[in-house]
Structure 1
């Protein structure tokens, strides 16, 4: 119901945003399965791929910083970092800002692995998005970014 006590008109932004959520879940799950299916090529589980890509995009980070950035538990991120470290894809380095929370950074092997995954993903995306305009993609990014930002601020009770 709207603030006026009436249901919003069909096709109202609220309904349309609901359609976005209805698509985001299946999209995420299918992309997740695809990454996992292709994992034997680089041997990267989707969680490890996520932390490697974060380090690729932002440079060295602490485990808590990565958890906050991705809305994931520190424990989950730590497991992914441990997996990546066992594969020699990341390494811990001293953090001048915090003695007990090391920075995690990509190794050369880690950078090569995530670059290969990203290159392969972009090749697939080129085939998928060929008829989408820059304006359509910009609008999609604007909507998804706004939803993500505001979901953190909303009390769902």
Structure 2
């Protein structure tokens, strides 16, 4: 198979995986009183403060749609805006204690489901690391 065709098939599979995963995430989020959109933003910010545009890039979404979710999370006390030393007009969004608690609960609620999916798929942590490495290389090349 030619590399370009393999790339097209990989991207199609990534989109399909994202769609199926999003539907599963919506059900899990609802059981915790959240939405998948809120969960995704909380998750992206869980490893450190990010600007809205940076969170949007990570999620592959338009900044305007992420801004609406961020505004909701700020209003509910899950996120807070902090000064950004690199850009005065684009604050960093950071988890509050309530936000950390919510994302930890969501991760805990999803752990059994995700472990079951991985077991049924017969996928190992090493295989996931290799797949992620390939995806990160492609993301880097597309951004350059």
Match of 1:61 in 2: 50
Find 1:28's aligned residue among 18, 34, 43: 18
Structure label with greater radius of gyration = 1
Match of 1:50 in 2: 40
CA distance in 2, matches of 1:129, 1:104: 32
Match of 2:116 in 1: 127
Q: Secondary structure, in 3 states, of the residue corresponding to 1:51?
A: helix
Match of 1:140 in 2: 131
| Count of equivalent residues | 142
What TM-score do the two structures reach when normalised by structure 2? Answer: 0.82
- Taking CA–CA contacts closer than 8 Å with sequence separation of 6 or more, which of the two structures ends up with the larger relative contact order? 2
Correspondence 1:5-154 to 2 at 5 A: 11-57=1-47, 59-130=48-119, 131-153=122-144
**CA spacing shift, 1:18–1:63, aligned 2, 3 Å:** closer
Q: CA offset at residue 97 of structure 1?
A: 4.3
Q: Secondary structure, in 3 states, of the residue corresponding to 2:93?
A: strand
What TM-score do the two structures reach when normalised by structure 1? Answer: 0.76
- The list of structure 1 runs, each at least 4 consecutive aligned residues, that deviate by more than 6 angstroms after superposition, is none
